[in-house]
Chains A and B, each alone.
Chain A
Amino acid sequence: MYALIKNLVDFISNFTNHLNDFLLFIPVIVLAVPIMSPFKIVPTRTQSIIEIIYEFLEDQILSLFHKKKDYKRWMPFFLTIFYYVLILNLMGLIPGMHSFTADLSFTATLAVMVILVSIGAGIYKNGVVKYLINLTPTGIAPAMRVVMFPLEIISLMSKPLSLSLRLYANMFAGHTVIKILLSLTEIFTTKLILPFDIVIVTVMMLFEVFVCFIQAFIFAYLSAVYISDSLYQESH
């Protein structure tokens, strides 16, 4: 039995660098089981916390999507992205666990997926030619629009780059700064700095929790901005 599990873990962990941490998802799934009960009208405590996060996202995204039907169709997608990135970020703060959003491959996958969904939604709504023509602003001369077309393509290609790099840099730099701050007694070669070290590392970890929430929200909000941008291209 032990050899079976060992072979399975070795087989899965030989695909990528960090996939041998997939067993770390098991505590997350175990902790999520009490949340999956059906929602009541008079909310319980965990339901209230989820509703706070949902209303915060709803305020921001409802101002982007004008029609209620589109909002109801797209909201689960943004909520999934938000909770996925949030839990992946928060897993890096628990000692012994590793956050997957500190790898460029994870964040680049999510960002490219969001941009492909936005291009696909625009093409599905308007057709390929109309979508490409409406990338440039409408009220100017056609010769000027031909000139602006490469610039718009460059700005479209830079959106997944900045989206993925923002999340990756925040998570990776945060973890690295905490690792450096934890080894402060080695850098100063004295143990007298230990009280200051504890205070500084505690403050940095609290700031890291805050940054995790903010970066997850910004990822979801910017993906909503890009998708609503390509869905409502006529009424900019």
Chain B
Amino acid sequence: MENINLGLACLGIGIASLGGALGIGKLAAGAFEAMARQPEQSNAIRGSMIIAIAFVEASVLYSLIIAFIVITK
């Protein structure tokens, strides 16, 4: 029980990954449906999807940084 910080950090990063994976999945689903409707614009849709994925991943990596700080203290 004296090392509860490590366990809570692991739990925190697990929940953050859950939110990130859900967000990216929903985003990719919308992008695939749009690319199926209009295949001639797949390049623009793919570019916007990658930019949006970078934003979602940044939100997940914020909590990874905090987990690193907790683990190394």
Q: How large is the interface on B (under 10, 10 to 19, 20 to 34, 35 or more residues)?
A: 10 to 19
User: In the complex, what residues of B have CB within 8 A of residue A221's CB?
Assistant: 51
Q: Which of B1-9, B30-38, B59-67 contacts A (4 or more CB under 8 A)?
A: B59-67
Which of A169, A214, A215, A217 contacts B64 (CB under 8 A)?
Answer: A169
For the complex, give the distance between the alpha carbons of A218 and B58 in Å.
11
Distance to closest chain B CB from A234 (angstroms): 27
Q: Which of A32-40, A143-151, A170-178, A187-195 contacts B (4 or more CB under 8 A)?
A: A170-178
Q: By DSSP majority rule, is chain A's interface helix, strand, loop, or mixed?
A: helix
Q: Number of A residues whose C-beta is below 8 Å from B?
A: 15
Residue in B closest to A171 when the chains form the complex, CB atoms: B61
User: In the complex, what residues of B have CB within 8 A of residue A169's CB?
Assistant: 58, 61-62, 64-65
A66 within 8 A of B: no
Within 8 A of A (CB), among B33-73: 50-51, 54-55, 57-58, 61-62, 64-65, 68
Distance to closest chain A CB from B13 (angstroms): 11
For the complex, give the distance between the alpha carbons of A176 and B67 in Å.
12
Number of interchain pairs (Cβ within 8 Å): 34
User: In the complex, what residues of A have CB within 8 A of residue B57's CB?
Assistant: 170
User: In the complex, what residues of B have CB within 8 A of residue A173's CB?
Assistant: 61, 64-65, 68
Would you call B68 and A218 a contact (CB within 8 A)? Answer: no
For the complex, give the distance between the alpha carbons of A221 and B51 in Å.
10
Which of B54, B62, B68 contacts A214 (CB under 8 A)?
Answer: B54
Which of B54, B61, B62 contacts A218 (CB under 8 A)?
Answer: B54
Which of A165, A176, A211, A217 contacts B62 (CB under 8 A)?
Answer: A165
User: In the complex, what residues of B have CB within 8 A of residue A130's CB?
Assistant: none
Residue in A closest to B61 when the chains form the complex, CB atoms: A169
For the complex, give the distance between the alpha carbons of A162 and B54 in Å.
13
Distance to closest chain A CB from B73 (angstroms): 15
Would you call B54 and A215 a contact (CB within 8 A)? Answer: yes
Would you call B65 and A218 a contact (CB within 8 A)? Answer: no
Would you call B50 and A170 a contact (CB within 8 A)? Answer: no
Residue in A closest to B68 when the chains form the complex, CB atoms: A176
Distance to closest chain A CB from B32 (angstroms): 20
Distance to closest chain B CB from A100 (angstroms): 17
User: In the complex, what residues of A have CB within 8 A of residue B62's CB?
Assistant: 165, 169
Distance to closest chain B CB from A70 (angstroms): 23
User: In the complex, what residues of B have CB within 8 A of residue A18's CB?
Assistant: none
With A166-B58, A169-B58, A170-B58 as known contacts, state yes or no: A218 contacts B51, CB within 8 Å.
Answer: yes
List 3 A-B pairs, minimum CB-CB distance, nearest first. A169-B61, A166-B58, A214-B54
Enumerate chain A interface residues (CB-CB to B < 8 A): 162, 165-166, 168-170, 172-173, 176, 211, 214-215, 217-218, 221
Instruction: Give 15 A-B pairs besides A168-B65, A169-B61, A170-B54 with Cβ atoms closer than 8 angstroms.
Output: A165-B58, A165-B65, A166-B55, A166-B58, A166-B61, A169-B62, A169-B65, A170-B57, A173-B64, A173-B65, A173-B68, A176-B68, A217-B51, A218-B55, A221-B51
